[in-house]
Amino acid sequence: MSHEMLTRPIGASGIEASVIGLGTWAIGGWMWGGTDEAKSIEAIQTAVDEGVTLVDTAPAYGQGLAEEIVGKALVGRRNKVVLVTKCGLVWHSQKGNHFFDYDGQPVHRYLGKDAIIYEVEQSLTRLKTDYIDHYITHWQDPTTPIAETMEALETLKQQGKIRSIGASNTSAEDVAAYVAAGQLDAIQEEYSMVKRDIETSLLPLCAENGVSALSYSSLALGLLSGKVGPDREFTGDDQRKDNPRFSMANRQKIATLMVEIAPVADAHNATLAQTVIAWTVQQPGITFSLCGARNADQARENAAAGRIRLSQQDIATITAAAGTHLTNLDG
């Protein structure tokens, strides 16, 4: 894997970033069984040193904790990264649409202008920076017109506080409304070998409008990492504990899939996880793959996936194997 890290543009923003992005949901600790700040900082710094320029975080990841850790990790490295954070999940206000409770406190989906202006300042402080490269609406707010949300985001862009605009967890209707209201540069959606529905719903719309796609959960919360065997147990608040996707039947299907992918991985001197990530970023319409890492080794492994160049035959082999073994996956 002597290739350079593959990079691509974020929509029409003029910003280029590595196809592998570091996702920091797990670093926030929430729903992942806690966090280790020192290991998290090392993971972020290692990713950047390995050529990952896309670092994705959000206020909701541990109610500001992930952003604070990212801010500490990027001191002296800020100019090397395309920094992504989000807005729209709020606990400072009761406006909008109640979404869930966090430690007994309500969190609302709210994308009104007042909240966005408040949130961006909070994020800038936690991230120790004066601009955000790519700012994303985290979840969509049914109570606020998208035109109002976009007006606020376009204002922040004119002020230089953000450089590009994205939307996450969207419907086709949402994407169309964003495109109509201003310059939408990217969407961020769940996509993996076991969850491919956006191929028919959102990606064609994005292709028509020059909108990039950042995929998250490329390894399906670790299910596709090649490391979750039948004996792995999940405890505490780990969301995988009761997830039907992690059923024994599914783990057996994944194990069979991994046996078929192994020769491709071996040919590239790559791990199974790296091979799955490399396949993901070669799918039509998928621009970037966000991969979580909680320590330096995971960050290093993920980064290397951006230096793999799968052949068309490799991609066809993996796609066929996925089609055979993953069509009837539960959950």
Is residue 178 part of the annotated active site? The answer reads no
The catalytic position among 61, 110, 135, 178 is: 61
User: Residue 6 — left, alpha, or beta (φ > 0 → left; ψ -120 to 50 → alpha)?
Assistant: beta
Sign of the Cα torsion 235, 240, 242, 245 reads negative
**Packing angle between helix 146-158 and helix 172-181, nearest 10 degrees?**
50
What's the rounded Cα separation, in Å, for the pair 19 and 307? Answer: 9
Using CA atoms of 222, 224, 229, 233 in order, give the dihedral in degrees to the nearest 10.
20
Show Cβ contacts of residue 119 under 8 Å, excluding neighbours closer than 6 positions.
Answer: 59, 87, 88, 90
The neighbouring-strand residues paired with 213 are: 187
The continuous run of DSSP H or E covering 248 comes out as helix 248-267
Burial grade of 88 (CB within 10 A; 0-12, 13-18, 19 or more): buried
Q: Which residues belong to the active site?
A: 61
